[in-house]
Structure 1
Amino acid sequence: MNAEPAASETASLPPEVTARWQARFRAPRVSLPDWALHAPQRSLYASDVSGVVEQYAWDRTTEAHRQVTDRPNGTLIGTLSPDGEDVWWFADTDGDEFGVWMVQPFAGGEDRVAVPEVGPAYPAGLEIGSSLVAIGRSTDDGSELWLAPAGGTARVVYRHADPASVDALTLDDELLVVSHSEHGDPRYPALRVLRTATTTEDAPDVVAEKWDGEGRGLHALEFAPLPGDRRLLVGHERRGREELLVWDVADGTETEIVLDLPGDVTAGWYPDGWALLVGHDHAARSELYRYDLATGTLERLDTPTGVVRGATARPDGTVELAWSSSERPPVIRRADGPVVLAAPGEEPPAAHPVEDRWVPGPGGDVHALVVRPAGPAPYATAFLVHGGPEAADDDSYRARRAAYVDAGYAVVHVNYRGSTGYGSAWRDALTGRPGLTELEDVAAVYDALVAEGFLDPGRAVLTGGSWGGFLTLLGLGTQPERWAAGIAEVPVADYLAAYEDEMEGLRAYDRALFGGSPEEVRDVYVRSSPITYVEAVAAPVLVVAGANDPRCPIRQIDNYLGRLQELGKPHEVYRFDAGHGSLVIEETIRQVETALSFALRHVRP
C-alpha cells in the first residue's frame, strides 16, 4: 500500500528556499570527541561528512583524522579503549539496533568481533577497563551481563528477565556497577556493585546495593578516575528532580550534593577526581558549572544561551562541549571560547529564534516553544511534538524545525507531561494514561495560541516521530476537529501489535507505563492506541515507516494503514530501508521533502 500524490497535486517551494533548508542537513557535523583515559591525545567522534554518520579517529598530536567505519546505513555508537589502542563500535544490521561489538585498531586495520562468546543482541551498556571488559546485552529472553578478561574466557555474571545494564567500572577493574529492575519497573532502576574477580551468575559477590524505592530511580554515572578510588557519582531524584550524590561503596557512606539550581542536573568527574563538571537543564536551555567537592564552591562556566549536548573535562582542566542554539548551528568548542573541532566545508545557514510560552494546562503550566515565520499572524502552524516520551524540545539548532519555518509555517513545540527537565512528577504524570495525557497539554497550548491570535485553527498540522508519531496518530483520532493534516514518522499505530513485536526492553517499559501487560490491562492499551480511533480521523495522513524498526515495528503500522484503506481515509505512506530513523543524510532529506510536500498540498501557509 503506497498512495502517491498525482503530479498535478505535488507542491513545491521556490528553489532558493529548498536549497536553504536542505543545506542545513547537508552541512557536515561532528559530535563531541570522546578521548582515551590514558591516552588523551587520541579521540573518537561521529560525523556525517561522508553523507552517512560514521565513526572517526583523531590523533591530536599529528592532527590526523581517519574514518573508522563505512557501512551503508551508518554507525552511531563507538568508544575508545582506555589505552587508546582500540576503537570499539556497535555493528547492527540496516539500523535494526541488533548486533555485536566490533574492534578495530586506532591506527587502522582489520575489524574483528570484540568478544566472540557474546552473541548478537541489543546493547545494554559497555565498560572497558585495562584488563577487563563488561558487556550488557538484551534479547527477547531478558538481560545478560558478561565479563571478558583479557586473554581469558568471557562469562555471564548476571541474567534476568527484566532490563539490566552495565553502568560503571572502577579504574582498577575490581568493582562493576550494574543497574537492574528486578523490582519490576525499569524507569526507576536500582544499583548493585559486584566484585569482578569472584562474582558468578550463580554466586554473585555483591559488595553493595542501593535502591531508593518505588518511583525513585538511581543512575550510576561513573567512578572517580583515581587509582583505588571507590567513590561513585550517582544521579537520584529524592526531591522530585534529577540531582547528584557521591556514594563511597567501600565504606557505605554517601554525600548528597545540593545545588541551588532549578531543573535537573547531571555531572561527570574532572580528571583530578576532586571536582565535578555539572550540566544544568531548565526550561529548554542548559549551562555548565564546575563544582569543587572540597569547598562546595559552584562556578558557572562561560557558555552562551542555548543548549549543551555534551561536555567533558580534559586532563589539563579545559572543558570541551557541543553547543548550539535555535539560531546558531552546532559547534564543538572549549568553554573559554576556541573551536576544538570543525567539520570541513561551509557551516549550515542560520535558523530562527524560538519564543517561550507558559500555558495553564490540566496538570499545571505547560512550557511551549514557538517560532514565527515571515508575515503577520494568524499563521498556518505545524505542531512538532517530540518523541521519548522522556525527552524535551529545547533552544537548540533543529534543521527540521527550520525547514517548516522556511516553508512558511509557524512551529510549536510542547513539552507535555512526560517530558524531562520539569521534575519527576511532570515526567511521570502520563503513567496509566499515556498518549491521552500528553494530548491534553497539546490541546491547551493549541487553544491558548488560537486565543492569542497566533494560530489559524483551520490550518494546523500535527507531526512528530517515534512517540511523537504515536501522539500524532492518536491526536488525529481523538482531536479530529483541531487538525487539518497529520504526518507521523516511525510511530506506534497499533499498540497491541506493537507490544508483541517490539524489543523486550520496550515491553518492560510499556508494562511499567501502562500498569501491566496487554494480557493484564488490555483496556488501558486499547484506550491509548491510535487504531482504536481510526474511524474518527478526518484529516489526510502521511505515515513514514522504517522497514527494520525494532521500536515501532512495521507490522503494527501496516495494521493501521490497512484500516485507513478499508475506511477510505486519505493517506500516503513513505517507507525506507532502515530502522528507527536514518543515519543517511540524503535519505533524511527525502523524508523531510516528502513531509513538506504533503503539508503544502493540504495546509497552505
Structure 2
Amino acid sequence: MTESNGNGAQDRRSERSGRGPAGQDGSAAPGTPEAGRTAGAQGTPAVPDWEKRFRAPRVSLPDWAEDAPDRSLFVSNATGTYELYAWDRASGAQRQATHRPNGTTDGVLSPDGAWIWWFDDKDGDEFGVWRRQPFTGGPDEAAVPDLEPSYPAGLALGRDGRTAVVGRSTDEDGTTIHLARVGSGEAPAEIYRHRESAGVGDLSHDGTLIAVEHTEHGDAMHSALRVLRPDGTAVAELDDTKGGTVELGLEVLGFAPVDGDTRLLIGHQRRGRWEPLVWDVATGEETDLALDLPGDVSAEWYPDGSGLLVAHSFEARSELFRYDPVSRELTRIATPPGTVSGASARPDGAVEYLWSSAAEPSAVRSTAGGVVLDPPGMKSPGSVPVEDVWVEGPGGRIHALVQKPVGTTGPLPTVFDIHGGPTWHDSDSFAAGPAAWVDHGYAVVRVNYRGSTGYGRAWTDALKHRVGLIELEDIAAVREWAIASGLADPERLILTGGSWGGYLTLLGVGTQPDAWTLGIAAVPVADYVTAYHDEMEALKAMDRTLLGGTPEEVPERFEASSPLTYVDQVKAPVYISAGVNDPRCPIRQIDNYVKRLESRGAVHEVYRYDAGHGSLVVDERIKQVRLELDFAERHLPK
C-alpha cells in the first residue's frame, strides 16, 4: 500500500520501476474548501492556507482483508508523519500500527486479517525486510527471517495464513522470488531468478498458481507474464514482445477470487493503450473485453468474481464502471468529475473510492453514500480549478493543465511544475504543491509531455534514446503558448519538478538557458552516468531500456541526456533539494553537479535532508516548500 498522488489507475506502473513523484504533497487530503487564513488564538501567528493543505489529516483508500472484510489498513499523516493504521470497521476502533521517524507507507493485510505486513527500510533507502505484527497489536517480528535485506519486488500472501510469495531485488542477484511457509521453520524456497527486473504479480485464490511479471527480454518498460506452480515449474507464458517490431507490455491485475478458478485478469497494450482481458492460464483461452472507452483502462474483480470494477483514465480525468462478463454490459458508476485515484469493491457490492479534483481535496467515498473515512482535525482548504490547454507540439498535441490565482490577468509569474516518472501524468486531482504557488500569486502550468501515461502507448514510449530532450521539446512548445497567450511573463518563468521532473528541470536550464528565469529541482537526476552506477537495480534496467544500453555501451546517449553535460551553460539561479538516502536519484551524482556549479561561481542553493526519495514527514515537506517559495521570492525579478 502506498498513498496515491491522485494520478489514476496506471500510476502503479512507475511505482515498480520509475522515478515517480517524490514525497507526499497533500493529494489525499479529505475536507471541504474554506477561504482565507485561520487566525491564531491569543496572537498566535495564523497558519496560511498553503501550509494547512499539508497539515490537514488525510487518509489513503483503505485496503481490507479478503476473508475478514471488517479489518482494514490505511495510511494517514494524523501524527505529522505518514504511517500505517489498522481499522476495525465492526467496532470503529483505529490504531496506529507503525511508528518510525521517517514514516511508513508500504503495508499489506494478510487475507485472514490476522497480520499486518510492512516493509522496514532505513530512513527511506527502500532497502530492507518485511516485518509483521498482529492486527490487534503486539510486537513486530521478521516476517521471513531467512531472507536477507533487499529492495522489494512484490509480495503476495496466501489465504491459508502461512504462504508468502516474496519478491526481492539486489545489485548482486537481480530479481529473485521466494515461496515461504511462515512459521513452519522451513527455509524459503527460491522459485524464480533472473538478472533483469521482475516482480510478484498475484497468488491464486487457492494458492496453487503464482503470476510473475518479468522483463527477461531486456525491455524494462514492457513486461511479459509467467505463471508458476509453488515448486517454481512453469504453467503458462504470455509475451506480447515476441516476433514484432513494436514491443507491447502486459501486467497482472489479479486472479479470479474463486477456488480452482484459473482465470487471470491482465492488462495489455495490443490496441495502443492499456486494456484488460481475461486469460485462462490452464487452457490458454483469452477473452478480450474490447471495452468501448477511449483512454487507458484497468480493472479488478468484484469480491465474488461476478463482475469487474473498471477504472477508465482519459485526458487527465478518470471514472468507474462495472462490467458484467456474462452480459458484457458496461455500467457507469456515478462519481464526481475529477480523478479517482483508487477504488475497491466491497463484499456488499458497494464501491469505495478515493476522489479529488484540483479544486477540492480528496476523500474516501462510497457508492453507498457519504464519506467512508474522515479523520478529525483541521480540514484542508480547497484551491482553484484547472483549465485544459492543448498545444501543437513536435510529436503531436500536448495536454497541459493550468491554474492561476482567482481574478488575475496575465502576464503572470509562471511556474512550470513538471511531473516525475516519466511514466506518470498530471491530472485534475488535488495537490498541495501547485496550490501553494497559486496562493503566492503564480500561475502554474503542468505538462503531460511525451513519456506520460494516459495518452496511448505511442505517447508513453516516444522518449526512448533521446531521453529528456524529447520531453523538453514538448515543455518548450507549451512555454511558447503560455507567453503568446498572455498568461506568462517571459521574464519570470520558473522550471521546477521532483524526481524525473527535477531531472528535466536541471536538463532544461542547461539546454534552454535563455528560456527559464529560475530552476528548482527536487531529488533530481543531475549526473546521469553516476546516477546509473549508484541507483537501485530496477532503475538500471529502466535506464538501459530508455537509452538503449549502459553508459559504457552508449556513452553518447548518456552524455546527451545528462544535465551535467550542460552545467556550464546554466544562467538561471538553481535550487536543489535532495534526500541523502535516496536510492532512485542518489546523492553522489547530485554532489557532482553542485561542485560544477560551485566551480563556476553560479548562483545556487542546496538543501540536503535525512530521507530517501522525498519525505513522509509533514514538517519536513512544509520546510522544503517554504525554502522553494523563499528562493523564488529572492531571485525572481519584481
Alignment TM-score, normalising by the size of structure 2: 0.91
2:630 to 593, 597, 603: 597
2:397 to 361, 365, 371: 365
Distance 1:15 1:502 in 2: 43
**Residue 348 of structure 1 aligns to a residue in which SS?**
coil
Question: 1:136-535, aligned counterparts within 5 Å?
Answer: 136-141=167-172, 142-150=174-182, 151=184, 152-196=186-230, 198-199=231-232, 205-213=233-241, 215-374=247-406, 375-535=408-568
CA contact (8 A) 1:185 1:512 kept: yes
**Residue 144 of structure 1 aligns to a residue in which SS?**
strand
1:15 to partner: Cα distance: 9.8
**Residue 190 of structure 2 aligns to a residue in which SS?**
strand
1:14 to partner: Cα distance: 10
- Give the partner amino acid of 1:492: V
Matched, 1:551 2:551: no
1:551 to partner: Cα distance: 0.3
- Give the partner amino acid of 2:529: L
- Give the partner amino acid of 1:253: E
Matched, 1:87 2:120: no
- Unaligned 5+ segments in structure 2 are 1-35, 40-45
Distance 1:46 1:158 in 2: 31
CA contact (8 A) 2:209 2:228 kept: yes
1:189-241 per-position Cα deviation (integer Å, ceiling 9, x unaligned): 11111111x33xxxxx1110000015211101100101111110000000110
**Residue 120 of structure 2 aligns to a residue in which SS?**
strand
- Give the partner amino acid of 1:178: V
Compared CA separation, residues 15 and 462, structure 1 to 2 (3 A): farther
CA contact (8 A) 2:321 2:330 kept: yes
CA contact (8 A) 2:449 2:475 kept: yes
In structure 2, the partner of 1:9 is none
In structure 1, the partner of 2:71 is 42
Distance 2:417 2:551 in 1: 29
CA contact (8 A) 1:329 1:347 kept: no
Distance 1:519 1:100 in 2: 33
- Unaligned 5+ segments in structure 1 are 1-12, 200-204
In structure 2, the partner of 1:133 is 164
1:346 to partner: Cα distance: 2.6
Distance 2:48 2:388 in 1: 29
In structure 2, the partner of 1:70 is 99
Distance 1:222 1:18 in 2: 45
Distance 2:401 2:523 in 1: 23
CA contact (8 A) 2:50 2:436 kept: yes
Distance 1:206 1:284 in 2: 39
1:335 to partner: Cα distance: 2.5
1:18 to partner: Cα distance: 6.1
Distance 1:604 1:113 in 2: 55
Distance 2:235 2:382 in 1: 52
CA contact (8 A) 1:302 1:336 kept: no
1:412-444 per-position Cα deviation (integer Å, ceiling 9, x unaligned): 000000000000000010001110000000000
**Residue 116 of structure 1 aligns to a residue in which SS?**
coil
1:600 to partner: Cα distance: 1.3
CA contact (8 A) 2:256 2:265 kept: yes
Distance 2:637 2:428 in 1: 26
The alignment of Structure 1 onto Structure 2 pairs a total of residues equal to 587
CA contact (8 A) 2:551 2:558 kept: yes
Matched, 1:52 2:81: yes
Distance 1:188 1:66 in 2: 39
Q: Does 1 or 2 have the higher relative contact order (CA < 8 Å, sep 6+)? A: 2
1:153 to partner: Cα distance: 2.6
1:604 to partner: Cα distance: 5.1
Distance 2:607 2:38 in 1: 23
1:270-297 per-position Cα deviation (integer Å, ceiling 9, x unaligned): 0121200000001110000000010010
Question: 1:579-590, aligned counterparts within 5 Å?
Answer: 579-590=612-623
1:19 to partner: Cα distance: 1.3
**Residue 166 of structure 1 aligns to a residue in which SS?**
strand
- Give the partner amino acid of 2:181: P
1:501-528 per-position Cα deviation (integer Å, ceiling 9, x unaligned): 0011100100000011111000000001
**Residue 345 of structure 1 aligns to a residue in which SS?**
coil
CA contact (8 A) 1:380 1:604 kept: no
Distance 1:368 1:338 in 2: 32
**Residue 392 of structure 1 aligns to a residue in which SS?**
coil
- Give the partner amino acid of 2:607: Y
Distance 2:560 2:492 in 1: 28
1:92 to partner: Cα distance: 0.5
CA contact (8 A) 1:550 1:580 kept: yes
- Residue range with higher mean Cα deviation, 115-124 or 143-152: 143-152
Residue identity over aligned pairs, in percent, reads 58
In structure 1, the partner of 2:605 is 572
- Give the partner amino acid of 1:32: L
Q: CA RMSD in A?
A: 1.3
In structure 2, the partner of 1:7 is none
1:427-472 per-position Cα deviation (integer Å, ceiling 9, x unaligned): 0100011100000000000101111111111110000000000000
- Give the partner amino acid of 1:138: S
**Residue 171 of structure 1 aligns to a residue in which SS?**
coil
Which 4+ stretches in 1 moved above 4 angstroms? 13-18
Distance 1:336 1:420 in 2: 31
Distance 1:589 1:264 in 2: 34
In structure 2, the partner of 1:10 is none
1:336 to partner: Cα distance: 4.2
- Give the partner amino acid of 2:474: D
CA contact (8 A) 1:373 1:405 kept: yes
1:337 to partner: Cα distance: 3.0
CA contact (8 A) 2:491 2:637 kept: no
